[in-house]
Structure formats: C-alpha cells, structure tokens
Amino acid sequence: MCGILAVLGCVDNSQAKRSRIVELSRRLRHRGPDWSGLHCHEDCYLAHQRLAIVDPTSGDQPLYNEDKTVIVTVNGEIYNHKQLKQKLSSHQFRTGSDCEVMAHLYEEHGEDFIDMLDGMFSFVLLDTRDKSFIAARDAIGITPLYMGWGLDGSIWFASEMKALSDDCERFISFPPGHIYSSKEGGLRRWYNPPWFSEQIPSTPYDPIILRETFEKAVVKRLLDSSLVAAVANRHLAESAIAQHWGSQLHTFCIGLKGSPDLKAAKEVADYLGTRHHELHFTVQVNISHHFSFPFFCLNMRLLVLPRSSFFKFLLYQEGIDALEEVIYHIETYDVTTVRASTPMFLMSRKIKSLGVKMVLSGEGSDEIFGGYLYFHKAPNKEELHEETCRKIKALHLYDCLRANKSTSAWGMEARVPFLDKDFINTAMSIDPEWKMIKPDLGRIEKWVLRNAFDDEKNPYLPMHILYRQKEQFSDGVGYSWIDGLKEHANKQVTDGMLMHANYIYPENTPTTKEAYHYRTIFEKFFPKNAARSTVPGGPSVACSTAKAVEWDAAWSKNLDPSGRAALGVHEAAYEDAVDTKIAEPEN
C-alpha cells in the first residue's frame, strides 16, 4: 500500500505551506517507504509515499498524462491495467505503473472511467486545465481514504486520518464506492451492484461457477485463507510473479502453541507443501500474570508471496505493550478490530523483516457467505441475505481497515481476492436459502463455499480442514488472548470510571472496561470530535450488526464481539453466560 495526501484550494501557497504538506505526508511514510513525491499547482498539492510493487524503477508518483495537465496520486493496484492500456493505443505512457492508466482514461472518458477499473484504489486526480478535481475510493473500501475541510475553504484527502486531523476542522471516512467531484460539489455513488438494494436473489447455486470465479480472483491478485493458499499453490508456478520470486508458496502463522488456528495452519501448510513459518508471541499482563496468545488469520488468512529462504523462528512479543502503537496505526477504538489487529500488526512486522512486500488475505468470506457463528440463528433466508449485505457495506470500517492498516504499518500490501467485484456479484446472486446453516443437512457456516472446493479427485484441502468450524479472527489466535485483554483493561479502568463513561464519552459511550481502555488510547492520538465519529458503534454479538442481535433474546444479555458469545452455537461458548435455552436453527 502507498500513502496519499492531497490538499486543494489552499489560501496560503507559500513555501511554509509546502513544508507543512511535506511534514504531514511524512506521517504516511510507513505505508510507502520506497519513495516520496509532491506536485504543486498554484493552490493545490498532491503528495505520495510509495510502496513500489509494479514497475519499481520508474513508477514513482504522482503520475501524469502526456502533457502533464492531468495529475493523479493513487494508493492501490489496478489488476486490469494491461487490458485497459490496449484500449488506449493512441496514448503515450511514461511508466510501467499499473496506476498511470487512470490519467489517460480520464482524458478519454472523463469522470465516468472509475467503473472500468478492476482493483483496489483510492486516488485524487487534478485537471489543471480547469482546476477541477475528483477523488474516489474502490467499491468495498479495501484501501482507506479520509476527506476533510480546512477553515480556509480547502479540501483535504488522505490515506490515513493522522495526515489531516490536525489541520482540518472536520473530516470523515470517505465512503467506499463513491466519487467526489469538484464540478458537482459533492459525493455520488459510482458502484451500484445488484445486491446493494438488498433485494433477495434467486439464482440457483452452481458450485463450479463459484469455484471458477474465485480462482480467477486469486490468480488475478496472486494470493479466508486455506482456500486462497490452495488455489494460489496450484497457479503460482505459471504466474508472472514466479519469474521474480520463485514458485514455492510461503505461509505464515503467528500465535500461541495450542491455539485453534495454529494447528490447522500447520496441517494446511504440510498438505499443500508450502514453506511454513511459525511465529509465537506472548503478552505480559503484569509481573505475576503471564499469558501467551496465539494469532493466526483464520486458516492462514495471511499468505505471503515466495521468498528464497526458510526460517523457523520463535517470536516473543509483549502484545499489551503494542496496544498504543496498534491503535495509533489502525485509527479506531472498535473492540473487535483492536483485538484482531494487534497480532496481525506483530506478524506483519516479522514478515516484512524477511523482505516481503505483498501478502494475500481472506477478508470478506464470512460477510459474503454468512460465515460468522451468529448466522446459525438467522430466522430465514431474507434476513440472512439482508445481514450479509449490511456486513459487506460496513467492511471498510472493520476487517478491511484492520487488514490494510495493520500491514501498511510496516510497508506491506494486503490483497483480498474474496472482495473481487465479479466474485461478490456471483456469490451475492445465489439464492440465500443455500447459505442458511442447516446442521441436519450437514450444512455448516459457509457451506456453499466449502462445497464448491470439495473435489474428491483433486482435493484442495484435507476434509477436516475444509469443513472446520468457523473461528473468528481474534478468537482463532487463542481464547486467552481476549481473556488477557479483558484482565489488562480491568486493571486500567476502575468501576467508577466506567460508571461515569457517558459523561466523559457521550458519543459511542464505552460499556465495558476493555472498550473504555481502547477509547482512552484513541483519544490521546485523535482528540477531535470528528475523529471519534469515524468509528462505528452499537450493540454486537459475535461480530453481528445491531439488527442481528434481535435474532436471539439471550444475546442482548451477552453482548461481546467474540464468537464465543454466540451461545448455543460455538463449541467453546462462554461457560459463565446466561443459562438460557437457545432454539435450534430453522430447517
């Protein structure tokens, strides 16, 4: 991932202002440590911090059209850039960058070119011919983008909040699938897929089509995790990447010995024949209480491109001590996100130390297929489908934010094949009756996806891994990780502090000591009202939306984002939970 900062319409265009823009852009250097660029045009500034993956020798940004009247600064990857270039034969390209195509597409199609892009991106484009500009974010919000307004009338855009929060009076998280046009003076949605209206689809389930669409998405990005590894392993040798990095897939897992995902990760790695790197870390709660916490992204949620050397190492990290740095980077106080980001942050640092720049990750599968354990209680297919739509629409505030910022903190890029536009359209067009969890029929969570890769003749994964019960990201690292975080928070936050939380934090008031602790850290770095408003709130159980909490009366008494809060569903549900009989899922 790269980092972008754009400031347009400044009253002050002095050298001091330029220096300030450079200073703020440096706050994003962790996202792009390879090079820095800045273009100034009158009262407009476009800055860039580059992570060089495609065309590392000549693809520095900002990028331009032929006569440099169109300037663009981009964070992201455009997977279909070669196909798009073929349609622009009359244009001259200065670099081999996948993002340069944007400047030329704009010349040909104006503001309507965005839907032609297949990839993940956030960008700002300036047309110096009429001093107009546009900013846009990818369909799901895989890449982060914030928009702010200065007191001088300037408009700001940045990959992370820390680059604009000090200089903007108000700022927001730029909505995914939207474009801001200075000509129109506002935001409009450019991404309008069939599923967005939440109407119930009726397309019959075809496992072959689902499998082939996903394989195309993985190959396109070459790298849920286990399936990503399996598909990548089959296609890696024939990919262009293998020419530069070798043809053996490397996999990474971080966690505590004995954690739910650690063992499964090793099994998958052995089965696929990958070079597997296992990291262990600990969390020091206090002198007398020592906890170890496993972390691994559900069945190898992080899969790393090939490297030439193999290391088996043991990493001891103090997870609690990393909390402040994690919250600074991920820019949220959401409990689930902090829980899951901390080990992902630690693993990313170790992976980057091996020279890796790009990883492939499994975000989105649970949202698309109803994979979270609370979906066991979906009362009917209509409510299940509507909940999956709500979850996908909110990904940019949760899992996409975590995956992007936890890896970008160390100058790495995470690609997410499950969030491919074509794959989402295919998966969300399936009659949701097929996604309903029906234990009596052998249909566990994400059955339609598992079944699509259940190939007896040429199996992708061992059967017991393919049909393993869902573990949430923060649970899969080991239940003691969450329990340890709660114990740590209990020592930092008194009963009196929590009792008066609504006076200290009237907006998104924390209801647990853990939430209060994260909020305190967040406010230290981002004290403005606009900052706290970028973080979502509301009740949740096992990562549900507030609406889905209504599916079971017992859940309202056990609000916790951990999968163990799905009483009557998770095999390791909280033992001290409310003793309430849970109805079986409808058949």
> What residue segments make up the domains of the chain, in order of their start?
3-192, 207-283+309-537
Q: Output the CATH code of domain 3-192.
A: 3.60.20.10
pLDDT of 261: 67
DSSP 30-72: TT--SEEEEEEETTEEEEEEE---SSTTT--SSEE-TTS-EEE
Pairing type for strands 155-158 and 3-8 reads: antiparallel
pLDDT of 221: 82
pLDDT of 147: 98
Separation between Cα atoms, residue 231 and residue 241, nearest integer Å = 15
pLDDT of 579: 35
Backbone φ, ψ for residue 186 (5° rounding): -170, 180
Is 102 within 8 Å of 139 (Cβ atoms)? no
The alpha-helical segments, DSSP class H, found in 184-225 are 207-221
pLDDT of 481: 75
pLDDT of 557: 78
pLDDT of 294: 25
pLDDT of 302: 37
Token pair of 504 as six digits: 């200290």
543 is catalytic: no
As a whole number, the mean pLDDT across the chain is 84
**For the chain, first and last CA: distance in Å?**
44
Separation between Cα atoms, residue 283 and residue 394, nearest integer Å = 30
Q: CA of 320: how far to CAs of 339, 345, 520, in Å?
A: 10, 12, 15
Where the chain has pLDDT below 50, the residues are 224-225, 283-317, 472-477, 574-587
pLDDT of 462: 87
Catalytic residue (choose from 2, 44, 99, 168) = 2
Q: Output the CATH code of domain 207-283+309-537.
A: 3.40.50.620
**What sign does the CA torsion over 442, 424, 146, 75 have?**
positive
pLDDT of 310: 26
Separation between Cα atoms, residue 495 and residue 492, nearest integer Å = 10
